[in-house]
Amino acid sequence: MIYKRKPKKFEPLFEVAACFCEYKNKILLLHRQDDLKEGNTWCLPSGKIEKGELPIEAVAREVWEETGFEFKPYELDYFTKVYVRYPEKDFVHHMFYKEMEKKTHVKLEPKEHKSYTWKTPRQSLKMNLIRGLDDCIRMFYKI
């Protein structure tokens, strides 16, 4: 499902960028609205990269739109790119990281998310996560 190297016959339909926003060893997880694809699951602030946009620009934009956190692209650390293969689609997933100095109020986009929580990486693995996020958490936090 998630590969570090590009699989054979990999045909990505799009690319996404996501950010591990971390404060005091806890990551921010957003609870997706029920009517969305993979609704009622928990995810990172993330979204599709728009045409002409760099992954780092996309993740800064998506974090802003979904949480109200304003990060400049140079404040975000790039972790890695993985190749995601689901039965119905292939896509590229870019992962970023931001260690936050203070716990900022989260301003959710209500069309996309119904709540949020801060959990340790291990706690998050016990939650109903969006497909593949468990593998990304294990990869990033080496658990």
Domains of the chain: 2-141 (3.90.79.10)
pLDDT tens for 95-139 read 999 999 998 899 999 999 999 999 999 999 999 999 999 999 999
| Dihedral Cα 44, 31, 63, 105, nearest 10 deg | -120
pLDDT tens for 38-72 read 999 999 999 999 999 999 999 999 999 999 999 99
Could you tell me which residues are beta bridge partners of residue 75?
none
Encode 101-125: b = buried (16+ Cβ within 10 Å), e = exposed. eeeeebebeeebbeebebbebeebe
What is residue 32's predicted lDDT score, i.e. its pLDDT? 98
- DSSP-derived letter for residue 129 is B
